[in-house]
Amino acid sequence: MNQLTGACIIGQSGGPTAVINASAQGVIQTALKAECITRVLGAAHGIKGVLDDKLYDMAQEDAAELDLLQYTPSSALGSCRYKLADPDVDDTDYKRILEIFKKYDVRYFFYNGGNDSMDTCNKISKYMQKVGYECRIMGVPKTIDNDLNGTDHCPGFASAAKYIATSCAEVWQDAHVYDTGMITVIEIMGRHAGWLAGSAGLAALTGCGPDLVYLPEVDFNMEQFLADVKAIYEKKGKCMVAVSEGIHYADGTFVSEAKTSATDGFGHAQLGGLAAMLAEIVKKETGAKVRGIELSLLQRCGSHLASRTDVTEAWKAGAAAVEAAVAGNTDKMVAFQCTRDENGYKCETVLQPLDIVANFEKKVPREWINEAGNSIEQPFIDYVLPLIQGEANCPTENSLPRFARLKKVLTTSM
């Protein structure tokens, strides 16, 4: 084993999830135990914390508070959406990162995020290789969007999926309470991939699922959509629709942004989001009572409804990143390799080159969506269902969430 001794930095980046802190916990707790890791530093707001020399000394935190990270939504160290330049064009940031790495003798760098964050991680990795600074760099996956390449699924996705399916089932009950007509449009996150919107379809397992589900993998057609809704509404007197925020027309225009559409009269100046807009259009077309519901931030921070499977896997992804780096690996992202068969569901961590992960969006296979493009097929359910199993059982105080309270003690150079 190639022993490398030095400090480590853990950074969180991109949109938060219900379990990204479980991954941070996995990294921090494993790193604190690793003999070759001399200090565990948490970057304030991801790579910005490195650039700004704003690093927290994680050894100062109470162990009990670190344990609570797995139940705490959002990014406890702070996040950022900072894009590093192409180092061939402008290497200012890279020089600064190297300076900070040298200042604290950083030999391990763990970056927890989605597509853009893996791109950041990849660029830093390649730069450090180029300048010959020995540092083991590992990506830890995270994204509710579930669109990272090279991994069966991403930590964070399952908890959001569970929140969405449960909420859809509950709203279904509410939306079916009167004997008068009612159409409900639920807007779900996922700009380019329909993993989350499709997960609304899991609610069908409770007997209370949406009638129609629209994913961005299929071009949206407003006339067909209205025909779909009307057909169900006329038959049942109710209709519940789940739509991805990322549905778009064939020309690529997002439905949410289209001021005028192919079909006249659908254009709207709007304050609300897609759900409100579609609700208004459906109302005009059908005359029915319509309600638009946007799950908004709730779906990505609902840790009280997190999947235990997701929490556990997120922690393992963090721990595996440290173990792999200590064992000599670098320039990789931890990924999941899973089997779903008669023996149940199994998930192992593997390593993928950062190159193949960065800047690629994994979409829902077309054959997992029905031909009409308004519902999901069984393989989608078989894929997602194992991931949402188990309850997180978040600790409470006064029957309200007890989140981790970190001291965030800024570190000094020695």
Residues 202-241 that bind its own copies (CB under 8 A): 202-203, 205-208
Min separation Cβ 134 and its own copies, Å: 30
Q: Which of 291, 316, 332, 362 binds its own copies (CB under 8 A)?
A: 291
Min separation Cβ 403 and its own copies, Å: 6
- Which of 93, 116, 145, 211 is flagged as catalytic? 145
Q: Which of 25, 256, 307, 375 binds its own copies (CB under 8 A)?
A: 307
Q: Which residues, numbered 64-103, are part of the site for its own copies (CB under 8 A)? A: 72-75, 78-81
Tell me if 83 sits within 8 A of 124, measured CB to CB. no
Q: Residue 38: what residue type?
A: T
Strands 182-188 and 136-141, bridge-based pairing = unpaired
Tell me the CA end-to-end span of the chain in Å, nearest whole number.
28
Residue 77 vs 135, nearer CB to its own copies? 77
**Is 62 known to be catalytic?**
no
What lies within 8 Å, CB to CB, of 113 at 6+ separation is 12, 13, 14, 46, 79, 120, 121, 139, 140, 141, 142, 143
Q: Which of 11, 113, 216, 302 binds its own copies (CB under 8 A)?
A: 302
Q: Is there binding between residue 305 and its own copies (CB under 8 A)?
A: yes
**Residue 53 tokens, joined:** 């020399």
Q: Is there binding between residue 175 and its own copies (CB under 8 A)?
A: yes
**Residue 273 tokens, joined:** 């989001």
Q: Is there binding between residue 335 and its own copies (CB under 8 A)?
A: no
Q: Which residues, numbered 262-281, are part of the site for its own copies (CB under 8 A)? A: 268-273, 276-277, 279-280
d(CA 184, CA 196): 18
Name the segment binding its own copies (CB under 8 A); options: 35-43, 171-179, 239-247, 346-354: 171-179
Min separation Cβ 229 and its own copies, Å: 17
d(CA 402, CA 414): 33
What lies within 8 Å, CB to CB, of 24 at 6+ separation is 10, 12, 42, 69, 75, 76, 77, 112, 318
Residue reference for tokens 């927890």 = 112
Residues 14-53: x where in contact with its own copies by CB under 8 A, - otherwise, as a string = --x---------------------------xx--x-----
Q: Is there binding between residue 159 and its own copies (CB under 8 A)?
A: no
The rounded radius of gyration (Å) of the Cα atoms in the chain is: 23
d(CA 305, CA 303): 5
Residue 108 vs 225, nearer CB to its own copies? 225
d(CA 299, CA 321): 27
Q: Is there binding between residue 62 and its own copies (CB under 8 A)?
A: no
Residue 43 vs 232, nearer CB to its own copies? 43
Active site residues: 145
